[in-house]
Homo-oligomer: A and B are copies of this chain.
Amino acid sequence: MRAAIAGASGYAGGELLRLLLGHPGFEIGALTAASSAGGRLGTHQPHLPQLAERVIEETTADTLAGHDVVFLALPHGHSAAVAAQLGEETIVVDCGADHRLADPAAWQEFYGGEHAGTWPYGLPELPGQREILRKATRIAVPGCYPTSVLLALSPAFAAGLAAPDVVVVAASGTSGAGKSLKPNLLGSEVMGSVSAYGVGGGHRHTPEMEQGLSTVAGQPVRVSFTPTLAPMSRGILATCSAPAAPGVTKESLRTAYEVALKGEPFVRLLPEGTWPATAMTYGANTAALQVTLDERAGRVVAVIAIDNLTKGTAGGAIQSVNLALGLPEELGLPLTGVAP
């Protein structure tokens, strides 16, 4: 299979390339970008020596044509126009936000502009989602934060163990913000400091979390979400809690998670007493998850670690593509993290 990557000079693009280089089912075709077009990939992705001499092309329908799979790692609002020019024989994977939300009003409120429509949501671990993805030719890759939150709380909501009043506080590495030249992303500002942003319900991933959890719960779930920026390049640690349903015990909670996660190749419920660290998942397509009942406060508390660029973006994208192509779901995706 030949894969093209639009947005090859960015962080998501680089991670797609890193993983595809280790994937036995793919040959890397066109590499495209906007302002970096014309340069060598090695300038932007010096950790990928095999592709150092490859020239970056403009992102156009022409350069992306003739591939079996096209990965779009573009700023939000840019995917729909490109995708419209690619036929149904091409699997198009949108790593951006354009096709995630089903509700045009939510799109309008959080992103603005016209809604591009909804594509199959690329989180195979959601109930019933694998079947949907097996027939997909268009895939909307979940946001990195929603990936973490949906994996962490779906088992509780699917089993009816939590009330629909969720609080999430998550710490993300700086690569989640992309390669943007903003003062607050400078190393001097970031190192030695944790900061909050998008507080109070304004982060664009909020409606996506609510959409996913509501579907799983079968009732509207609201989420109070606060993202924070931590001094690391990669990783998300999300602490997610909701009021426990009446009668829930630590044991019933753990059993529900064990049942829900049985056979999942990438989501690991940690041994009791062990809590997630993002280092457990660095560079891997895995999630490290733990759940407990805070009896004092009456809340289900689930904590999850993922790599925002791997399971949270590029690895999750390839996992869904594996399904869409009829390949083994785990093919080419790293289970081992890089630590320490």
Closest to A198 in B: B275
Given known contacts A231-B232, A280-B46, A338-B283, A167 and B299 CB-to-CB distance under 8 angstroms: yes
Residues 186-201 of A at the B interface (beta carbon under 8 Å): 186-197, 199-201
Residues 42-82 of A at the B interface (beta carbon under 8 Å): 42, 45-50, 52
Are A286 and B49 within 8 A (Cβ)?
Answer: yes
Alpha-carbon separation in the docked complex, A186 to B171 (Å): 18
* Count class of interface residues, chain A: 35 or more
Q: A241 interface residue, CB < 8 Å from B?
A: yes
Alpha-carbon separation in the docked complex, A48 to B335 (Å): 7
Q: Mark A276-302, 1 if CB is under 8 A from B, else 0.
A: 111111111010101011111111010
Q: Which among B191, B235, B280, B283 is the interface contact of A187 at CB below 8 angstroms?
A: B191
Q: Which among B192, B224, B277 is the interface contact of A301 at CB below 8 angstroms?
A: B224
Are A194 and B11 within 8 A (Cβ)?
Answer: no
Alpha-carbon separation in the docked complex, A189 to B223 (Å): 32
Given known contacts A276-B196, A336-B22, A233 and B174 CB-to-CB distance under 8 angstroms: no
Q: A122 interface residue, CB < 8 Å from B?
A: no
Chain A residues in the interface with B (C-beta under 8 A): 11, 14, 18, 21-22, 42, 45-50, 52, 165, 167, 169, 171, 173-175, 179, 181-183, 185-197, 199-201, 206, 222-224, 226, 228, 230-235, 237, 239, 241, 268, 270-271, 274-284, 286, 288, 290, 292-299, 301, 303, 305, 334-340
